[in-house]
Amino acid sequence: MKLIKVAAAVLNQTALDWDGNAARIVSAIRAAREQGVQVLCLPELCICGYGCEDAFHSPHVPRMAARVLGEILPETRDLIVSIGLPLWYGGGLFNSVALAAGGRLLGFVAKQHLPNDGIHYEPRWFRPWPEGHVAQIALDTAHYPLGDLVFDCGGLRLGFEICEDAWVGNRTGATLARRNVDLLLNPSASHFAFGKHEIRRRFVLEGSRSLHVAYIYANLVGNETGRAIYDGDAMIAAEGRLLASGPRFSFADYHLTTAVVDLDVGRMNRARTGSFRVDIHRTDTGCVRSEFAFPPATPEPPAVRTPDWESGAYRKEEEFARSVALGLFDYLRKSGTRGFVVSLSGGVDSATVATLCTLMVQLGTTELGGAGFAKKLAALRELDPSQQPRQVVRQLLTCVYQATRNSSETTLRAARELAEALGAEFYHFQIDELVQQYVAMVSRAIGRPLDWQQDDLALQNIQSRVRSPGVWLVANLRGALLLSTSNRSEAAVGYATMDGDTSGGLSPIAGVDKAFLRRWLQWMEREGPAGWGPLPALAAVNCQAPTAELRPPETSQTDEADLMPYEVLDEIERAAIRDKLAPSEVLAQMVVKPWSYPREQLAEWVARFFRLWCRNQWKRERYAPSFHLDDENLDPKTWCRFPILSGGFARELRELTSPPGDPCGEEPVL
């Protein structure tokens, strides 16, 4: 047996936080040494942070990253460590990994496949490294190999698949295996999305099985730069078997996942697999050799940690709760604000946001303990480490209900009861007098009274906008972050008042559709996250039909009467925006869905969606930053671009309702 102890470290890094990032890297290295680890894989670009955006264009960034690498290097004196950083070479910037062994820098491997979809824009900053090419790079007074390298450290041969290199069909690991690699390291910055854990797990297991290598996967964790949340998800596998996995959504600065692997097993299986072909011509090409003595490792049982919430069937609700709670915690402490303020209307959206803030405290104190949680926020405000989570919530979360003459006792009661159940500070503002002052002022200016027959939309919007200054004032007085409560379904059709209910510095649920939010609140009411339990106070929210409460009560206003049923809206949005179908194609999909709406009604709703979508792109451009939680985001800054001004699908919508044979509904003959 050839046993070595390996580890994957997940790190909670921040873009351009040189001192903080280096300190967490060093802490992880020291912890690995204490645990007898011999090979440690750190995440992608962990020195500078993955999300530096256009700061990568500054020559200062790779220079400082190389300087920090030099400062970290002595910490690797008795183990092998991979450390991610950007490197400037030959007129281009490369997403690279340094390999250090025994306190000495051996060389750099550069990423070959750069993601350019979704929230990823790596080709904007980096260049892909050509397969098979090896160069020399000068750092200070020394030269090091850079490129498509294999490292031989005391007889252990290792190579790299850097994040996207493992996601593509021609994954680099296949070539490295033919070069007789024993160990594949995958330093990643793979953002969280619903259900993505299973995809990663499959390519880690399959890579280890089909390539006959031990595989180490190390990811970032936490909210690094504001929008993307990383779930950690460290894994170690060999021969298609998961040997170890780490916790996801950890609130800690770093976490190590370790395992002992037997290199001889992979070597034996490569040798006896008749279809496996070693590339003799490249076995020694691009190979960097280093003497490294491996002390004997002791066999260990697999350490696959499956928390209670992941032990059963997949629950999107659990992932949503834990990802946003972690995202809020990191956003709070990294932005330097002292808490959160929520305009709590008594409806689904604001109830979700307030509940997630409380979950942040519950999950954070459960993992870190009261003292650990307080220590992480010590730079923002003093928290008594002996306080119960409910007392901490009261210090960090303020909820404000703002009533007009169109508000109901039902929503006031729902908001008050929820705030009380969560432990939040609660204020009740009466803003109707302010609304009427604006209405009277404008009425005098235009020479006529405003009324609901002529001025419906304007009268609705002014109520929402008047709610903004007071709640902003509360946030400013507390040094807190005002959270916007808009959701993705509203964003799609512009069913939100700019500078009203969209006000805020962060919009945590803007990437999530209304239908799911309603299901999630019902789940929270009856079941809740593992270890926390249900929140019965949500019953007062869940029993209501969603309503803006901006028209007079006798109109019985509801969101779905204004728009369409949310389940229909969300299906249309996915077909039109995610799947890029034309209006007629969307309608064709809608009519075969298992619901009882007539075709004419569905056609009207499809047309309404497209008109509202095009008309309201300017609103989506102005939304506060939102968390990226799935691959159906509408955020134009990171995912879904659309022109602010367009033809609005006018021809397509005419064709949508044109009778058969109408030339307006036919394609022209060219």
Among 526, 556, 586, give the residue marking a domain's end: 556
- State the Cα–Cα distance between residues 81 and 187, nearest whole angstrom: 11
The predicted-structure confidence for 230-269, as pLDDT tens digits, reads as follows: 999 999 999 999 999 999 999 999 999 999 999 999 989 8
Q: Looking at the structure, do residues 607 and 634 belong to the same domain, yes or no?
A: yes
Which residues 6+ apart lie within 8 Å of 169 measured at CB? Answer: none
The answer to whether residues 396 and 253 belong to one domain is no
Which of the given ranges, 276-290, 472-486, 549-563, has the highest pLDDT on average? Answer: 472-486
Indicate if 277 and 418 belong to the same structural domain: no
Residue 315 has what pLDDT?
Answer: 92
pLDDT of 9 > 80? The answer is yes
Residue 381 has pLDDT above 90, yes or no: no
Residues 540 and 636 in one domain: no
pLDDT at site 271: 83
Interval 443-463 mean pLDDT: 96
Q: Is the pLDDT of residue 664 over 60?
A: no
Both 281 and 327 in one domain: the answer is no
Residue 343 belongs to some domain of the structure: yes
Residues 117 and 191 in one domain: yes
pLDDT at 668: 33
CATH of the domain at 610: 1.10.10
- Tell me: the pLDDT tens digits for 301-336? 878 877 778 877 789 999 999 999 999 999 999 999
What is the pLDDT confidence band of residue 380, given thresholds at 50, 70 and 90?
confident
Cα–Cα distance measured from residue 556 to residue 660, given in angstroms and rounded to the nearest whole number: 39
In whole angstroms, what is the distance from residue 114 CA to residue 122 CA? 6
Do 402 and 468 fall within a single domain?
yes
Mean pLDDT of the chain: 94
**Residue 665 confidence (pLDDT):** 40
The residue from 533, 556, 579 where one domain ends is: 556
CATH number at residue 218: 3.60.110.10
Domain that holds residue 435: 316-556
Same domain, 259 and 172: yes
Contacts 24+ apart (CB under 8 A), 559-565: 559/495, 559/514, 562/495, 563/493, 563/495, 563/608, 564/605, 564/608, 564/609
Distance CA 276, CA 178 (A): 8
For residues 159-166, give the mean pLDDT. 97
What's the DSSP call for residue 310?
G
Please report the pLDDT score of residue 662 as a whole number: 45
Bridge partners (DSSP) of residue 107 are 99
Which of 298-307, 429-438, 445-454, 531-540 bottoms out in mean pLDDT, i.e. has the lowest? 298-307
Residue 239's pLDDT is 95
pLDDT computed for residue 667 by the predictor: 35
Residue 177 has pLDDT above 50, yes or no: yes
Instruction: Identify the pLDDT of residue 658.
Output: 63
Q: 295 with 443, same domain? A: no
Largest CA distance in the chain: 92
User: How large a percentage of the chain has pLDDT more than 70?
Assistant: 98
Instruction: Provide DSSP, 410-447.
Output: HHHHHHHHHHHHHT-EEEEEE-HHHHHHHHHHHHHHHT
- Is there a single domain that holds both residue 223 and residue 93? yes
Please report, as a single letter, which amino acid is at residue 556: S
258, 368: one domain: no
Percent of the chain exceeding pLDDT 90 equals: 87
Q: What φ, ψ does residue 532 adopt, rounded to 5°?
A: -120, -45
Per-residue model confidence (pLDDT) at position 312: 74
Six-digit token pair at 559?
Answer: 């969101």
Burial of 627 (0-12, 13-18, 19+ CB in 10 A): buried
Please give the pLDDT value at position 659. 54
Q: What is the pLDDT of residues 337-369, one digit of tens each?
A: 999 999 999 999 999 999 999 999 999 999 999
List the structure tokens of 261. Answer: 């692997």
Sheet holding 425-430, edge to edge: 425-430, 397-403, 340-343, 481-483
Q: Could you tell me how far CA 525 lies from the centroid of its own chain?
A: 25
Residues 421 and 546 in one domain: yes
**pTM confidence score:** 0.94
The residue among 532, 556, 580 that closes a domain is 556
pLDDT value at position 661? Answer: 47
What is the tally of structural domains in the chain? 3
- For 290: left if phi > 0, alpha if psi spans -120 to 50, otherwise beta; the answer is beta
Within a domain: 179: yes
Beta carbons of 173 and 123 less than 8 angstroms apart: no
